[in-house]
Structure 1
């Protein structure tokens, strides 16, 4: 089957291509991407094809307590074990949590977010719940388990069993313990993610210096770090995950988003949506919010920012999580590509900027599903 679309973001660099001809075999795999479709091709006017979206940081279990404690400060909501989140989750049964959160996760998948890094609170129980919740067809999750007791032994056990762990702060373990945990993760190809300088208290604790010393896989939030401190983390090869909507909602502050293009030249940068209880896990909205918050005059800076944010919400995010995402290129399965109805792209001055700013309002579907329909 040959399909002609309005545009595509092709290859690992998300290169804009106008009116490409996508050649698909009988298995729905891309066998060619170029110009010159046959007259019998299938025409999809107004459709832009790009890699599926990725959410680098998601707490999905608390989707089951949406808008709980709307007026409470962050520490009263999420502090373990006394925060409202943990009290409410402990009052719900597994079936109720799974049913509620699965609805939210399935909606995110239907909006093109096929990959996610998901914190699994509640120890082994939470891991099984997250596996069930994130089981939508075509979806892949990097589970980052959290033990019920913050000990090196508990984290190491979950790292070996699950392949990833998530820490609330770099202070959850002694410095030597965090260094040992991060080293073990590197040896086994696992992942250690840590919330870093999300609050002023954590920043004053110099938690980012512990992260520099111990080098976990990824540092999340980074809300209070200076450009110089962010650059240090990036040059140490630590993945950086930004969650600007959550930071603005909970703290009224944004990280240094304008630095994202420069940081992405040093390390993997990704976007996450954080707690589904208070911030809907919509990756396209996160991308648009980050762009508008970081935008400054100048076409070259706008283009670089848009390109980096698109990668941070698709291919680079998946790479950071160790998940296999598909670029729009030969060999890509159509069930891993996103098709967005975005007619504005016909007259846009920049396809990348239009996608970043307008994807959240566009009807989207997985390319294979669109063709089957």
Structure 2
């Protein structure tokens, strides 16, 4: 397979005119040269934080606080999840997975409710799909063992040292929500030495220094945080200290569209467009140990092709800025995954 156009190459996403040569699902070479197309070629997205079980409850709970919406065990989403049949849960997740793939997402991290059964339900929804699901089970170490790691709700909800130890011994990912509502759960979360933190909206200087010293990656979800009125994460300050990835959070609150998340983040924070694109691609991939997220030789060919001559993108003078701040699923010409 040969893809031609403006290639956003490497970690700097430097636009070059040329082609990407793919063999057996791997990028064999990226070559500069004259092309006769306005296509834009970039890495597919990695959505670093989702709760796609919420697919059964989209736009439910208007007017409720964050705690009333999602706090375990009796927040609205948890009540709805308990009432739903397994068939309904799998069908809802399957539809969200199909949407993510069609909108350019190659992989996603999911904090999966429901213990072992919840992990297996998501695995069933993923069966036959090209997208990669990094499933962080919740509620038990058995759920962690069934998936790719453990996703803790937050240090104020319980004591997770046992789960952290078990996850480390299993060589899997341990993620935890922190600083979403206030500062009280940030230091206890950091004490667990997690592989990733989620949110950190209320991180203060002392917490940012600890993040920098420990080099713990942070996943931010700006649209979700604004929707639930908890505030905007300090993206610039986090980027200056550690690896930052981008997630869309609860499907209940937001569509799992990385195009929308990038535009929102770029326009409401001090992150540069290249930083935002890295947050949506390579940063999440590296947190999970995935070999994607860059258009570079040796990486899996999980790629997107945008129509640079679409009504929306034609005339764009800066392709990276256009991809991050302007492009949408309607500009997608092709989604290329390794087994195609």
TM over 0.5: yes
Alignment deviations for residues 173-217 of structure 1 (CA, whole Å, 9 cap, x no partner)? 33xx52x533443343211111101113xx2x2x21112222111
> Which of 282, 289, 293 is residue 315 of structure 1 equivalent to?
282
Aligned residue number for residue 4 of structure 1 = 4
- The answer to whether residue 98 in structure 2 is matched with residue 113 in structure 1 is no
Alignment of 1:82-97 (within 5 A): 82-97=74-89
The whole-number CA distance in structure 1 between the counterparts of 2:327 and 2:213 is 31
- The answer to whether residue 120 in structure 2 is matched with residue 128 in structure 1 is yes
Moved over 6 A (4+): none
Alpha-carbon shift at residue 35 of structure 1 (Å): 2.3
Query: Which region of structure 1 is more displaced relative to structure 2, 49-58 or 182-191?
Result: 182-191
Aligned residue number for residue 256 of structure 1 = 234
The whole-number CA distance in structure 2 between the counterparts of 1:261 and 1:352 is 19
> Which of 289, 302, 307 is residue 341 of structure 1 equivalent to?
307
The whole-number CA distance in structure 1 between the counterparts of 2:179 and 2:22 is 46
The whole-number CA distance in structure 2 between the counterparts of 1:181 and 1:307 is 36
Query: Which region of structure 1 is more displaced relative to structure 2, 355-364 or 57-66?
Result: 355-364
Aligned residue number for residue 43 of structure 2 = 51
C-alpha contact 2:266 2:276 (8 A) present in aligned 1: yes
Aligned residue number for residue 19 of structure 1 = 17
> Which of 141, 144, 149 is residue 159 of structure 1 equivalent to?
144
Aligned residue number for residue 235 of structure 1 = 213
- The answer to whether residue 310 in structure 2 is matched with residue 325 in structure 1 is no
Alignment TM-score, normalising by the size of structure 1: 0.82
Alignment deviations for residues 47-83 of structure 1 (CA, whole Å, 9 cap, x no partner)? 1111110111100001111111112111111122211
Alpha-carbon shift at residue 116 of structure 1 (Å): 0.6
Alpha-carbon shift at residue 252 of structure 1 (Å): 4.9
- The answer to whether residue 53 in structure 2 is matched with residue 61 in structure 1 is yes
The whole-number CA distance in structure 1 between the counterparts of 2:75 and 2:314 is 49
The structure in which a higher percent of residues are helix is: 1
Aligned residue number for residue 255 of structure 2 = 280
C-alpha root-mean-square deviation of aligned residues, in Å? 2.4
> Which structure has the larger Rg?
1
Alignment TM-score, normalising by the size of structure 2: 0.90
C-alpha contact 1:30 1:332 (8 A) present in aligned 2: yes
Please list every run of 5 or more consecutive structure 2 residues that lacks an aligned counterpart in the other structure.
none
Aligned residue number for residue 298 of structure 1 = none
Aligned residue number for residue 299 of structure 1 = none
Counterpart of 1:109 in 2: which secondary structure?
A: helix
Aligned residue number for residue 191 of structure 1 = 173
C-alpha contact 1:242 1:272 (8 A) present in aligned 2: yes
Aligned residue number for residue 363 of structure 1 = 331
Counterpart of 1:359 in 2: which secondary structure?
A: coil
C-alpha contact 2:148 2:172 (8 A) present in aligned 1: yes
